[in-house]
C-alpha cells in the first residue's frame, strides 16, 4: 500500500474548508489549484464561450471527494461531480470496507478505438470485403499519415476489420473499421480524421460510395476491468450475517443478469460512480455511457455489466468489465481549469490509470447498492442523505439544514411540506 493514505477518518464531519485542506495535503496541490476546486467561477465565461456555442453562463455541480480507495496497491482520493445524494458516501464506505483486504484490482487493454467507414452501392459486397482486407496495409498507411504526433507516441492505426450487412433498408452495406491505438487521448478527433482520409481509397478499392465516416462509441477493444474479494465476515452487520448478505447480493445480481428491467437500474448504479469522475476530469461521460450500455447488450440482450459470486472459501468476489474511453489530452481535460485541478488531485499518469480508477469506482458503487438492497433496503441510507436537499428546498439555511434533516430522518414523512412545518416550528 502507498505511503499516502486515502483513509481519512471523520472526513465527512469536517467543514468543506477542512476537507479541502486534507485533499491538498494528500495531493500536494498548490494555492491556484485549490482555488479552482473550491471557488465559484473556476470556468471563466470567455473560456466557456470558446468551448461550446451560444454560451450564456456556466452551471455548477457539487464536487465531492471519495475517500478510502486503494487500487492496485495505490491510494487515491477521487473527485466526483454529482448532484445525487449518497453516491459519494456509498463509494467511500465500500472502499473503506475492502481496503483491509487488499482494495480493488484493476487493469486495462490497449486503448484501441474504432472508426467506421460506411460503403453503399457495392455491386459485389463480398468481393469488396476481400479486396479491402487484401489492401489492409495500404489503408493503414493512409490512415497513419494523418497523425504523426500519435505515431511518435507509439500509437496509430493497427489494423482494419470489414463487416458486411447483406440486408438493410438501403440495400447491402460494407462497413470498414479502422482500429486505432489512441494512447492517452479519448481519440474521437484522431479516428474521425483518419476515417475521412481513407474514405476515397476505400471507395476506389470497394467500387462503392463512402457515406458515414465516424468513430464508434462501442469501444469493445478498449476495456477496463476491476475486481474485489472480501471474506464473508467483513460483511457481518448487527442484523445479518455476512453469508446472508452475500446471498442477497448474489440474488440481486442474478435478477440483473436475466432481466433487462433490473439490469438497467443495476448498470445505472455502476454509472453513478463512473459518470461523476468522468465529468470532473473533463471527459465525455455521454460516450462512456453509450459504450457501457451497448456493451451490456452486445450478445443481443441487455444484461448486467458486473458479476458477483461466492468462491470456495465463502468470500464475496465482484468483477466488472466495460469499455472505458477516457483521455488526459485534448478536449475539456485541457481547456477546463477545474478538470485540470481534479486530475491533479488524482495524480494520474496515463489514460489507462484513469480508466482503472473509474472502473474500480463503478464496482464500489455497485457493491454499495447491492449490499443495501440485500439488507435494510436502498431507501434508508439514501433518504437520510436526501433529507438535506429537502430541508434546503423548504428554505432551511446554515445550521437549520442539519437540524431539519435530522428531524425529517427521525420522524414520520420525509417531504417538503413536513420540512416547511418543522422549519416554522424551529423559528418559534
The angle formed by the CA atoms of residues 335, 106 and 315, to the nearest 5 degrees, is 140
How many C-beta atoms lie closer than 10 Å to residue 152's C-beta?
10
Backbone angles phi, psi at 236, to 5 degrees: -60, 140
- Please state, in angstroms and as integers, the Cα–Cα distance from residue 128 to each residue in 117, 175, 323, following that order: 13, 10, 30
Q: If we measure between CA atoms, which residue out of 143, 113, 156, 182 comes closest to residue 330?
A: 182
Q: Which residues are catalytic?
A: 84, 268, 284, 382
Q: Find out whether 94 and 383 touch, Cβ atoms under 8 Å.
A: no
For 148, residues 6+ apart whose C-beta sits below 8 A from its C-beta are none
DSSP sequence for 355-391: HHHHHHHHHHHHHHHHHHHHTT-HHHHHHHHHHHHHH
Q: Are the C-beta atoms of residues 65 and 344 closer than 8 Å to each other?
A: no
Distance in angstroms (rounded) separating the CA atoms of residues 170 and 406: 61
**Burial category of 266 from C-beta neighbours within 10 Å (exposed 0-12, middle 13-18, buried 19 and up):** buried
| Euclidean distance between CA atoms 208 and 176, whole angstroms | 12
Q: Is 417 exposed, middle or buried (0-12, 13-18, 19+ CB in 10 A)?
A: exposed
Chain position carrying cell 479552482:
36
Task: Round to whole Å and give the CA distance between 98 and 107.
Answer: 18
Amino acid at each position: 500500500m502507498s505511503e499516502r493514505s486515502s483513509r481519512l477518518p471523520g472526513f465527512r464531519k469536517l467543514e468543506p474548508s477542512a476537507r479541502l485542506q486534507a485533499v491538498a495535503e494528500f495531493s500536494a496541490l498548490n494555492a491556484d489549484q485549490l482555488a479552482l476546486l473550491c471557488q465559484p467561477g473556476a470556468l471563466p465565461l470567455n473560456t466557456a464561450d470558446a468551448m461550446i456555442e451560444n454560451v450564456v453562463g456556466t452551471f455548477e455541480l457539487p464536487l465531492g471527494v471519495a475517500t478510502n480507495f486503494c487500487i492496485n496497491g495505490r491510494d487515491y482520493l477521487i473527485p466526483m461531480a454529482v448532484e445525487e445524494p449518497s453516491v459519494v458516501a456509498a463509494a467511500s464506505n465500500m472502499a473503506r470496507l475492502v481496503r483491509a483486504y487488499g482494495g480493488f484490482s484493476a487493469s486495462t487493454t490497449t486503448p484501441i478505438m474504432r472508426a467506421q467507414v460506411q460503403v453503399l452501392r457495392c455491386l459485389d459486397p463480398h468481393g469488396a470485403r476481400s479486396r479491402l482486407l487484401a489492401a489492409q496495409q495500404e489503408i493503414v498507411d493512409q490512415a497513419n499519415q494523418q497523425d504523426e504526433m500519435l505515431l511518435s507516441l507509439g500509437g496509430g492505426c493497427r489494423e482494419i476489420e470489414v463487416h458486411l450487412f447483406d440486408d438493410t433498408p438501403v440495400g447491402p452495406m460494407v462497413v470498414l473499421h479502422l482500429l486505432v491505438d489512441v494512447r492517452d487521448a479519448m481519440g474521437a478527433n484522431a479516428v474521425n480524421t483518419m476515417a475521412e482520409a481513407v474514405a476515397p481509397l476505400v471507395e476506389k478499392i470497394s467500387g462503392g460510395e463512402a457515406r458515414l465516416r465516424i468513430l464508434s462509441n462501442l469501444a469493445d477493444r478498449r476495456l477496463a476491468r476491476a475486481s474485489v474479494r472480501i471474506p464473508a465476515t467483513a460483511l457481518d452487520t448487527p442484523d445479518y450475517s455476512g453469508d446472508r448478505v452475500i446471498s442477497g447480493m448474489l440474488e440481486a445480481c442474478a435478477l440483473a443478469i436475466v432481466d433487462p428491467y433490473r439490469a438497467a437500474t443495476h448498470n445505472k448504479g455502476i454509472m453513478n460512480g463512473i459518470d461523476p469522475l468522468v465529468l470532473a476530469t473533463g471527459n465525455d461521460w455521454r460516450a462512456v455511457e453509450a459504450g457501457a450500455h451497448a456493451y451490456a447488450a452486445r450478445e443481443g440482450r441487455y444484461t448486467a455489466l458486473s458479476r458477483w459470486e461466492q468462491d470456495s472459501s465463502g468470500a464475496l468476489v465482484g468483477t466488472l468489465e466495460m469499455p472505458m474511453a477516457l483521455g488526459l489530452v485534448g478536449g475539456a481535460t485541457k481547456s477546463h481549469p477545474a478538470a485540470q485541478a481534479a486530475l491533479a488531485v488524482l495524480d494520474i499518469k496515463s489514460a489507462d490509470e484513469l480508466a482503472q480508477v473509474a472502473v474500480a469506482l463503478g464496482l464500489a458503487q455497485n457493491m454499495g447498492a447491492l449490499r443495501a438492497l440485500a439488507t435494510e433496503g436502498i431507501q434508508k441510507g439514501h433518504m437520510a442523505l436526501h433529507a438535506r436537499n429537502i430541508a434546503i428546498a423548504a428554505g432551511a439555511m446554515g445550521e437549520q439544514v442539519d437540524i431539519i434533516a435530522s428531524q425529517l430522518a427521525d420522524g414520520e414523512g420525509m417531504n417538503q411540506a413536513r420540512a416547511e412545518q418543522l422549519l416554522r416550528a424551529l423559528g418559534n
